[in-house]
Amino acid sequence: MATKTLLTVKDYAALGEPDGVRYELSNGELIVTPSASHFHNRILLRMTARLQAYLETNKFGEVTSETDMHLVGEVVRRPDVAFIRAGRLEDVDPDQVPLPVAPDLVMEVVSRNDRADDLMLKVSQYLEAGAQAVWLLYPKSRLAYRYAHGKLDPRVYTSEAGDRFEEPELLPGFSFPLHEIFS
């Protein structure tokens, strides 16, 4: 029987990442996934740009995308889009990889390579690390699932119903129609 070699966060940070793949660390296990598609990145960039524009005039925190973040234990995740409240990065070296802080809000664009059990593990890791909400965006079905800290079931939103991406406790006044995210 083969044994699994587990990595520490320090081991992970020392890895080189070859072209065409991206790494994450889940309980010491190296997760290797293919690079995102253009379609995936278009949605990611649309969300990041809209949040960045909002945060330039509303100083509630910072938005980042595709940034390694050390959550808890031997877990490093790279959220598609993450929001970190103001003040939480004051004493953090912005060049440090991974960032030693968990995001307050996460948005993940679900790709065809994503498996449901892997997504649920990722959601639980973000919430366990202190994220207030995690949004899984399903572009093909035009649905969004919002998972909140302390709640078992997600709330489901749809672009056809005119639903919007909103997080009033973290981003007061920010609102983005789902149909614009998915267009």
Residue ranges of the domains in the chain? 37-182
Tell me the pTM: 0.92
The single-letter code of the amino acid at 164 is R
Neighbouring C-alpha atoms within 13 Å toward the C-beta of 94 = 6
Question: Which of these, 29, 34, 38, 147, lies nearest to 77 by C-alpha position?
Answer: 29
Residue 108's DSSP bridge partners are 136
Pick the CATH number of 37-182 from 3.40.50.300, 3.30.70.940, 3.90.1150.10, 3.90.1570.10: 3.90.1570.10
Q: Evaluate if residue 2 carries a pLDDT over 90.
A: no
What whole-number percentage of the chain has pLDDT above 70?
98
- Among 13-22, 46-55, 67-76, 130-139, the least confident range: 13-22
d(CA 68, CA 114): 18
pLDDT value at residue 1: 52
> Tens of pLDDT along 114-123?
999 999 999 9
| Other beta carbons within 10 Å of 66 | 14
What whole-number percentage of the chain has pLDDT above 90?
83
Residue 183 confidence class, pLDDT cut points 50, 70, 90: confident
